[in-house]
Structure 1
Amino acid sequence: MDPTRFAFDWFSAETPDMTLVQYELAAEVRSVVEPDDQILVCRVEALRVGLGSGHADVDAHLPWMTDGRQVWARWDAAAKVSALIFDRTAAQDLARRMSGNDAYRLRVRELGPVGRDAAAQWERSYAYLTASLGQASPDDDLILAGLRRHALWATLTAFDTGFGEALEGAAQLRQAPTTVRRALDFIDQNAHRDITVDDIAVAVHMSTRGLQYAFRRALDTTPAEQLRRARLDGAHRELLRGRASTVGQIARRWGFAHPSRFATAYRDVYGVAPSQALRRGRGD
């Protein structure tokens, strides 16, 4: 940054688990962001601006989103920066409540929005949030909760996060047969135990083959895969509590005999290594 060309104007507003930031900066800037326990959505408006991740460029005329992937930016004149920052764990929990799908995993598949109409909608929502948060009092808990929900919904639908699929999955689950829903409840309540697909079938008074067919027909998955997801979710919660000494200890406790396979499965779902989640849980 060149201090002889520096000018700065800043506005920020916070709700629990979300921060809105907007600033105008006249300077030569080179920056890199790589959020750890946050989700960042940003728009940089400038005459000459470059954005990218690794060796790939990002469309600098549109907002972008990252849940951990490194993004670099550079500009050499005045720029207006608009950003929303969500706590990752809180956003995951709220997204599950909004979708009604407890199996949803919030992951940013692409940095850019799903289209220009979606980008424009996100920017309109951002402008609304800026005006509304500027008028809200810190004591307006219900108003702030509503604005946070609006912000996350607008963000998850503007970018490729799998949120639309979660909404469809929740509707599919509500229409699933009673036996399948009972099996899902049994899995959620007993995933920490040494249960098998046969045990799940016995619990809902079905044959194993019949249960597999019912899951495939209603949810396009299998009881074994659902059990694996429930155990991975349990391991995730335990990692974030930071109470175990090693990742391998948690993996074994949740039925994953091979730490390397567990690490791969965990990274595929949560976007970070389990060792990183454990360090975060300990506050390292």
Structure 2
Amino acid sequence: MGQRLNVRSTGHEEVERVWQRFVPSARLDRIDPKRVSFSWDSVELPGFSTVAYELAASVHSSIRMDDQIMACRLVGDSVRLEADGHSVDPRRPWLGAGGSTEAQWTHTARVRAFVFDRTDAERVARLATGDDRLVLRRLAPSARDRDAGLQWERSFSYVSTALNAVHDDAILAVELRRHALMSTLSAFHTPYLDAMQRTHQRSAAPRTVRRAVAHIEAHAREPLTLEDIAAASGISARGLQHAFRRALDTTPTEYLRLVRLSGAHEELRAGTAVSVAEVARRWGFSSASRFARYHREHYGQNPAQIARMF
């Protein structure tokens, strides 16, 4: 089922040629051809590839991921990464999922990457979450935190090692491909994580709480009080508070804030927002500074950073 590719070369033309087989948009904009040493190992499956290569050269490269998603860890000398002109922390795995990414290093770099077909990845993510509208575009490029980055690196090591051993076994290869995708979508801030959380909450909660959750998500951009939510759920406000705490370990008000925060975050990522303050107002946050604090606590970034990035 899978195709293995091993390349050893000292020619810089080979580097770009091989990369473009897996990522057609890949470009080596600048490379020192006098000192090139290239070692490449990959396994290619339908809609998915694992890539591991080492390149000894001073390089400036670029990719534009329109129809693909690439999760990557680049280790080297004087590494610099930029996503759509904004700096990305090179000490963690990064994600290319729409827009352009540029990488620069000197001497030698080691690259480890998963490359997914975007349409196939969205299909799998929708089946996993039950959200038929889920899209994976223009995602934040940095891993959620250090632990998430380390977990992704462990997943890469496991998947790439296992695929090299069982790439001809169709059943195992498909399972490994799914594991690679789920670990990647969990390591970064993606709609997949939010959808999985909502799915779990709905299935575990009693009927009154599920009705409240559905009402909150349908009317999050409208004025909502605790009493409004309770009335839509057929329970008293006090009873709904207790039900939420037992089922979800939160309150209806806190859940409403989380839904609004998620909606505002998605609007900022869409790149259509006039200002952060306007987005905060539209999603029911009376204070832009309080919205910024909630956003930092939940997403690890200021909302202004997200707006500039996208």
2:208 aligned partner, one-letter code: T
> How far does the alpha carbon of each residue in 1:19-43 deviate from its partner, in whole angstroms, 9 at most, with x for none?
7543221246899xxxxxx874426
Q: Residue in 1 aligned with 2:38?
A: 8
Cα deviation 1:207-241 (Å, max 9, x = unaligned):
11110000000110110011001111221232233
Per-residue CA distance 1:3-52 (angstroms, 9 max, x = gap): 54322355787987x87543221246899xxxxxx8744265x9xx899x
TM-superposed deviation, 1:92: 9.6
CA RMSD of aligned residues (A): 5.2
Partner Cα distance (2:277, 2:240) in 1: 32
Residues 47-79 of structure 1, C-alpha deviations (whole Å, 9 max, x = no match)? xx899xxxx997xxxxx53469xxx997856x6
The 8 Å contact of residues 109 and 161 in structure 1, kept in 2 or not, is answered as: no
Equivalent residue, structure 2, for 1:123:
157
Shift of 1:176: 1.3
- TM-score normalized by structure 2? 0.58
Whichever structure has more strand as a proportion of its residues is 2
Residue in 2 that maps onto 1:226: 255
Q: Does structure 1 residue 208 correspond to structure 2 residue 237? A: yes
- Cα offset, 1:243, TM superposition: 3.0
* Counterpart amino acid of residue 157 in structure 2: E
Q: Output the CA distance in 2 between the equivalents of 1:129 and 1:43.
A: 21
Deviation at residue 150 of structure 1 after TM alignment: 3.3
Distance of aligned partners of 1:233 and 1:145 in 2 relative to their CA distance in 1, 3 Å threshold: farther
* Equivalent runs, 1:8-87 vs 2, <5 Å: 8-9=38-39, 21-27=51-57, 40-42=71-73, 44=75, 65-66=93-94, 80-84=110-114
Separation in structure 2 between the aligned mates of residue 20 and residue 122 of structure 1, nearest angstrom: 8
The DSSP-based 3-state class of the residue aligned with 1:113 is helix
Aligned residue type for 1:125: V
- Cα distance, 1:231–1:74 mapped onto 2, change above 3 Å: same
Q: Counterparts of 2:288 and 2:121 in 1: how far apart (Å)? A: 27
Report the Cα distance in structure 2 between the residues aligned to 1:94 and 1:273, rounded to whole angstroms. 30
**Is contact 1:99–1:167 with CA below 8 Å preserved after alignment?**
yes
Q: Which residue of 1 aligns with 2:12?
A: none
Distance in 2, matches of 1:19 and 1:269, equals: 32
Distance between the aligned counterparts of 2:260 and 2:193, measured in 1? 24
Return closer, same or farther for 1:229/1:171 CA change in 2, 3 Å cut-off.
closer
Q: Give me the whole-angstrom Cα distance separating, in 2, the residues matched to 1:196 and 1:266.
A: 22
Q: For structure 2, list consecutive stretches of 5 or more residues without a partner in the other structure.
A: 1-30, 62-68, 80-88, 97-102
- Matched residue SS, 2:150: coil
Tell me the SS of whatever aligns to 2:262.
helix
- The answer to whether structure 1 residue 113 and structure 2 residue 150 are counterparts is yes
Give 1:249 shift: 1.1
What is the TM-score with the length of structure 1 in the denominator? 0.62
How do 1:239-278 and structure 2 match up within 5 A? 239-278=268-307
- The answer to whether the 8 Å contact 1:122/1:155 transfers is no
Alpha-carbon distance in structure 2 between the residues aligned to 1:160 and 1:242: 19
2:114 partner SS: strand
CA gap 1:280/1:187 in 2 versus in 1, 3 angstroms: same
The alpha carbon displacement at 1:188 in A equals 0.6
Q: Percent identity?
A: 40
Could you give the per-residue CA deviations for residues 150-188 of structure 1, whole angstroms, max 9, x where no partner exists?
32224467x698999997885454131100001000001
> Deviations along 1:260-281, whole A, 9 cap, x unmatched?
2212222333343323433454
Residues 1:176 and 2:205 aligned together: yes
Pair 1:109–1:120, CA change in 2 (3 A)? closer
Contact 2:202 2:210 (C-alpha < 8 Å) held by counterparts: yes
- Report the equivalent of 2:264: 235
Q: What SS class does the counterpart of residue 297 from structure 2 fall into?
A: helix
Q: 5+ residue gaps in structure 1?
A: 32-37, 59-63, 137-143
The number of equivalent residue pairs is: 251
Q: For the structure 1 residues 67 and 198, does the alpha-carbon distance in structure 2 shift closer, same or farther, using more than 3 Å as the test?
A: farther
CA distance in 2, matches of 1:231, 1:92: 24
What amino acid sits opposite 2:254 in the alignment? Answer: E
Q: Residue 71 of structure 2 contacts residue 93 of structure 2 at CA under 8 Å; is this kept in 1?
A: yes
